[in-house]
Structure 1
Amino acid sequence: MRLAVLFLALLPLPALAASKAETEAQFRQWLVSDFWPQAKAGGISRAHFDAAFAGIKLNWDLPDLVLPGQPPKDEKQDQAEFASPGAYFSEKRLADLAAAGRTLASVHAATLRRIEKTYGVPGPIVLAIWGRETGYGRAKIPHPIIEVLATKAFLSRRPELFRKELVAALHILDSGDIKEADMRGSWAGAMGQPQFLPTSFLQYAVDFDGDGRRDIWNSVPDVLASIANYLSKKGWQRGRDWGTEVRLPQTVSCALEGPDRARPTSQWISDGVARASGKDFAANEAKREAMILVPAGRSGPAFLVTPNFYVLKEYNNSDLYALFIGNLADRIGSGGSAFRAPFGDVGHMLRSDVLTIQKRLEAKGYDIGKADGLAGYKTRRSIGEWQQKSGLKPTCFPDPAMKGRI
């Protein structure tokens, strides 16, 4: 037995371990020869640079790494967005977040009033984003940001993006807002309780508690005000909501979806669009433009949204994310509930199949937006327009049979 152990100890290290050691050495050389000139050009001093990277090593546990000399792995094409969109709206999760959000709305009422007065963004919207991003600060934020960004800048699919974020992170350390040991975030480099990338922190983070530091890791006033400032700078319209669920009559085409097909609310009402709750639209919305949104086409709830809905998408470019925030905010602030219309059992498609549908529609002259396997509003309405021209009942949502018919 002892001879066997000795024999194993004398074997060469596995190839992977050797490649990691070699890559670590390349990484240290890259920091000095490639990244330091970029950091210097960005205004970082050598002393701060050396301090930030003292002892930094690659984090091999991060996803989506690309080893030097190896091609990137194919992206997974089976994504949750193309099961039914309804799967995104876990009733238990929404109810739990809403209950916690109502408690926090009371605890932080004075701060939220001051935030709304300053930035024009309602407290329930700010709380909903805080809750969705990090569970009101309760979620574990595990990763040292400099380590994450340095690893991604050297070994990711998008090195230029992460190099820019890494320079921004060094500026944050220079500012004294946070110590490196406390500067933690997600595996993708999003920091603190609002999940800001470093460049967003530099643009939108604010010191709202007056202690001289923008602390989105530990200060609730700074966290909430930074979220509100972000939305304000992205164009949030003071005094307007995000939107509301509606009943969309068959006489109104689902292909009318999208921000570029906005109409005054009064015109939508004239066409038969009504709030799902049965309540009237606010009188001051009559002349203001609003847009139809059908995230599952005719197989799910429909919404009439304001430009503020698209501001929410600036935080995370997803219709479902923005709807989640809007619905959660309603539950926190005005006793809102689950959507009245159910999501149908639609989807269950690979992104590659949606991509095929997009490319075929594009070849026929339809503007599907970006051919990426994601059924955004331009893809949905192009499907509806194609269905109408083909004598089919418009559903405005991809399905497997469509792939063979277009």
Structure 2
Amino acid sequence: MITRRLLIAAAPLTGCAASTNPATPAPAAATVPPPVPVATPNQAPEIDLQTISSVPFDRFVEGVKAEGRRRGISTNILNAAFAGVRPNQRVIQLDRRQAEGGLPWEEYRDRIMVSPTRVQNGRRNYTENAELLRRIEARFRVSPRVIVAIWGVETNFGGNTGGFKVVEALSTLAWEGRRASYFRNELFAALKILDEGHIRVDRMTGSWAGAMGQPQFMPSNFDRYAVDFDGDGRRDIWDDKADALGSIANYFARSGWRHGEPWGLAVTPPPGFSLAGADTETKRPMRDFARMGFRTEGGGALPDGPEAQVVLPNRGSGQVFLGHHNLRVIRRYNSPVNYGLAVGLLSDRVG
């Protein structure tokens, strides 16, 4: 007997990785917690760097270099990587101003993530890179549309990969101490990338928290997921489009993407459906949702497909989704539910 009782308001999909926004970022997350907070220099008070840590920054750097040598990183790379590095006040300001993202779902969806401009650029990039995307799909069995959608929302199709020096940003955060252990590990992962010759020191730039390249991988995830798709001997996710898009696909493949399955769809719920009492945990066959009175957002019959569960955007005004397994995989790349839904919607529109 199918019940219409839908419990637990606005809970996230079950089985997803922990949010990338808590004090200890989830090791499986591809990126640092979005969105990058909107802040201008005149909004952020100056920070007295002398009070940040009990250890002088120079002494901290010397300790990192000594440990790096013990780990087998060459002295030349260590000296080049830390040349001119100093505490970056802007990095500390942004770290302390992180926000969960207070935009209403509809504004986040339409103005930022799935804007007409992003959709148009996504279609153009999908078409221009069709042959490369076909080869990536053949190897990794991941939808080219979701690869392009991730590429678009993370770095505007490679156009905005971040202007912070990764070693300086990670050194600042490891020295500052709030999440010292996490960022120290990421710093050594970044130094390993340099030592292996995948990127030059002057080209290793990224976000304020060290997310790098067109996929915005943290250094430890570069080690796990970045691929040399074009076979030139380097895994270059900064300047090499084939490596960048192939690495996104590899991340999804290793996170459990099911080739040929949809991620989900927006639906119209049955009469009497209550957002405040919605069951977002129970997975059901699509035919069960159809029997309960769910329809497509346009009023049509639900398509057949893998089992699904109700998904509600955070800070939404009533839009309802049915999400499949592949939505949970999208959220392993970055866990907030609104991020996952927006990537899914964009992927539907680019290809």
Bucket of the pairwise TM-score, normalised by the shorter protein: 0.7 to 0.9
Residue 342 of structure 2 is matched in structure 1 by 324
Measure, in 1, the Cα distance between the counterparts of 2:116 and 2:155: 16
Query: 1:1-400 counterparts in 2 under 5 A?
Result: 20=50, 26-33=56-63, 35-36=64-65, 38-40=67-69, 42-64=71-93, 80-81=101-102, 83-91=103-111, 94-139=115-160, 141-252=162-273, 254=275, 255-258=277-280, 260-283=281-304, 285=305, 288-296=306-314, 299-333=317-351
Runs of at least 5 residues in structure 1 that lack an aligned partner in the other structure: 1-15, 67-72, 334-406
Following TM superposition, by how much is the alpha carbon of 1:198 offset from its aligned partner in structure 2, in angstroms? 0.3
SS in 1 for 2:188: helix
> Distance between the aligned counterparts of 1:18 and 1:298, measured in 2?
40
Which structure is larger by alpha-carbon Rg, 1 or 2?
1
State how many pairs are aligned: 304
Q: Deviations over 1:57-90 (max 9, x none)?
A: 2222223489xxxxxx7x678x643x53222123
Question: How far does the alpha carbon of each residue in 1:320-352 deviate from its partner, in whole angstroms, 9 at most, with x for none?
Answer: 11111111111112xxxxxxxxxxxxxxxxxxx
Which has the larger helix fraction?
A: 1
SS in structure 1 at match of 2:245: helix
The structure 1 segments of at least 4 consecutive aligned residues displaced by more than 4 Å after TM superposition are 16-25, 40-43, 251-254
1:141 Cα offset (Å): 2.2
CA offsets, 1:337-368, max 9 Å, x none? xxxxxxxxxxxxxxxxxxxxxxxxxxxxxxxx
Paired AA for residue 123 in structure 2: R
Note the C-alpha offset of 1:281: 3.7
**SS, match of residue 211 in structure 2:** coil
Q: Provide the C-alpha distance between the structure 1 equivalents of 2:118 and 2:347, rounded to a whole number of angstroms.
A: 10
- Which ranges of structure 2 fall in alignment gaps of 5 or more residues? 1-45
Shift, 1:282, TM fit: 3.7
The Cα shift of 1:182 comes to 0.5
Amino acid at match of 1:291: Q
The structure with higher relative contact order (CA 8 Å, sep 6+) is 2
Deviation at 1:17? Answer: 10
8 Å CA contact 2:310–2:322 kept in 1: the answer is yes
CA distance 1:257–1:49, shift in 2 (3 Å): farther
CA gap 1:95/1:134 in 2 versus in 1, 3 angstroms: same
Secondary structure class of the residue paired with 2:85: coil
Q: Secondary structure at the match of 2:193?
A: helix
Range that drifts further, 296-305 or 184-193:
296-305
Structural RMSD (CA): 2.8
> Which one-letter code corresponds to 2:253 in the other structure?
S
Contact 1:64 1:156 (C-alpha < 8 Å) held by counterparts: no
Partner SS for 2:313: coil
Distance 1:17 1:190 in 2: 23
How far 1:267 moved relative to its partner?
1.2
What is the aligned-residue identity percentage? 37
The TM-score with structure 1 as length reference comes to: 0.68
Amino acid at match of 1:88: Y
Q: CA deviation at 1:42?
A: 4.4
